[in-house]
Amino acid sequence: MNGVRTVTEQPVDGRLLPLLKEHWELVQRLNMGIAFVGEDLRITLCNPMAGQLLNTQVPLGEPWPLDVCLDPSCEEYRFVLDLSVYQREYRNFVVTWEDNGRIRHVLIDSFKQEYESGVVGMYMVMKDVADFTALEQQMQRTDKLATVGKIAAGIAHEIRNPLTTIKGFLQMMEHRFRAQEMTAELQYIQVMLGEIERVNSLVSELLLLAKPHQAQKQPCSLRSLMNDLNPLIESQALLRGIEYECAVDDVPMIIGDAALLKQVILNLVKNAFEAMENGGILRVRISLASDGRVQLDVSDTGPGIPYYQMDKIFDAFYTTKEKGTGLGLPICQRIVAEHGGEIRVSSKGFGTTFSVLLPAVASQLPVAN
């Protein structure tokens, strides 16, 4: 094919490490780039990822002149040239490259290839650190939730004990005011009881972040869960003037705690309702994702989530609602993560979709022909 080698062929550059030559096919599947730049300023790409990270397209395993492989005006060219000329060995060195307006941060290790005659070139091992950034953000969010949970666990009883006492006395006063038809005083009592219930609900949510109750996992069907929840969702939709659509495909069973998963669904539905103050359409869809997991989509036709808020919505206490606690989505994420799944969100200026992906029972997955 015009001399272009496929990724399964052995590299022709004899200076490549024997280990790379022996495991050439494996190197192609690595999620990191490997490239070799020789003392003659010819560069050899050892796998497709190297081409992606260096933003170049040349046949794999063949040495190419550096100024042909890379644009001499680009940052990648200048870095590789510097690396080759000065033979610098880097460890965990991060470089920033721009690709058509998109900034890429690449983590690089480099080392010399030496023979008895001296150094003949430099190897580059490259990794896009975008994955690490996302992982770091997730770890920071998890640490924050854990800290919040520890605080909540420590003060929960101290808060609930006086609340229980106050609530008891207020209920006694409510009974007396009702018997004496003291309407104004009765309204005050009911407001106070409502606020106490709100505080109690907040404490309960904090405790879920601290240590969710022991999940009672067993095979369950999302279709059955939706059948249980549909009457409640339909009644709430009717009260709010919202159209409700539910579609459930024939999907495998999952392993999970039905009560906790219902809480996730109701939280997502509640958020969708609150996003459509002036009415709209709520859609719930259960289907089989392309990767074999069971997917639950909760979509609304609200105004959507601004792009600058997308990476904050799962942070504890972050909320744009006047009376929101900012704990609903973090709790959902915690529950789904404990079930081995993940939550994704998509919002493109109009409407929002939250997608919950959960592992299916392996024995029920379709077998490929």
369 residues of the chain, pLDDT tens digit each: 333 333 334 444 444 555 566 667 777 878 889 999 988 899 988 888 898 888 888 888 888 899 888 888 888 888 898 888 888 888 888 888 876 666 778 889 998 887 777 778 889 999 887 655 555 555 666 666 666 666 666 666 677 778 888 888 888 888 888 888 888 888 888 888 888 887 777 676 666 665 555 667 888 899 999 999 999 999 999 999 999 999 999 898 998 888 889 989 998 999 899 888 888 999 999 999 887 899 999 999 988 877 767 667 766 665 666 555 566 787 788 888 888 888 888 887 688 899 999 988 754 444 443
Instruction: Please check whether residues 163 and 63 belong to one and the same domain.
Output: no
Instruction: Please check whether residues 164 and 107 belong to one and the same domain.
Output: no
Instruction: Please check whether residues 343 and 244 belong to one and the same domain.
Output: yes
- Residue 12 domain-assigned? no
Instruction: Please check whether residues 172 and 253 belong to one and the same domain.
Output: no
**DSSP per-residue string spanning 209-245:** HH-------EEE-HHHHHHHHHHHHHHHHHHHTEEEE
Domain boundary among the residues 72, 103, 128 is at 128
The residue to which tokens 């770890």 are assigned: 139
Mapped onto helix, strand or coil, the DSSP state of residue 65 is: strand
Going by the DSSP 8-state scheme, the letter that residue 360 receives in this structure is B
Q: How many Cβ atoms sit within 10 Å of the Cβ of residue 119?
A: 13
**What's this model's pTM, rounded to 2 decimal places?**
0.51
The pLDDT value given to residue 146:
62
Instruction: Please check whether residues 252 and 185 belong to one and the same domain.
Output: no
- Residue 5 domain-assigned? no
Instruction: Please check whether residues 51 and 81 belong to one and the same domain.
Output: yes
The pLDDT value given to residue 366:
47
- Residue 7 domain-assigned? no
**Residue 124 CB contacts under 8 Å (≥ 6 apart), including other chains:** 33, 34, 35, 36, 37, 50, 80, 83, 108, 109, 110
Domain boundary among the residues 210, 228, 251 is at 210
Instruction: Please check whether residues 355 and 334 belong to one and the same domain.
Output: yes
Instruction: Please check whether residues 67 and 203 belong to one and the same domain.
Output: no
The pLDDT value given to residue 245:
93
- Residue 52 domain-assigned? yes
Inter-residue contact 286 to 222 (CB < 8 Å): yes
- Residue 3 domain-assigned? no
Instruction: Please check whether residues 30 and 50 belong to one and the same domain.
Output: yes
- Residue 10 domain-assigned? no
The pLDDT value given to residue 318:
55
- Residue 4 domain-assigned? no
- Residue 142 domain-assigned? yes
The pLDDT value given to residue 356:
93
Q: How many structural domains are present in the chain?
A: 3
Sign of the alpha-carbon torsion through 315, 330, 323, 317? negative
Question: For residue 138, what are the domain limits?
Answer: 134-210
Instruction: Please check whether residues 138 and 124 belong to one and the same domain.
Output: no
Q: In 249-302, which ranges are E strands?
A: 254-256, 280-288, 294-300
Return the H-helix or E-strand segment holding 115.
strand 102-115
Instruction: Please check whether residues 232 and 322 belong to one and the same domain.
Output: yes
Instruction: Please check whether residues 228 and 350 belong to one and the same domain.
Output: yes
The CATH number linked to 303 is: 3.30.565.10
The CATH number linked to 122 is: 3.30.450.20
- Name the token pair of 14: 């004899």
Domain boundary among the residues 175, 210, 245 is at 210
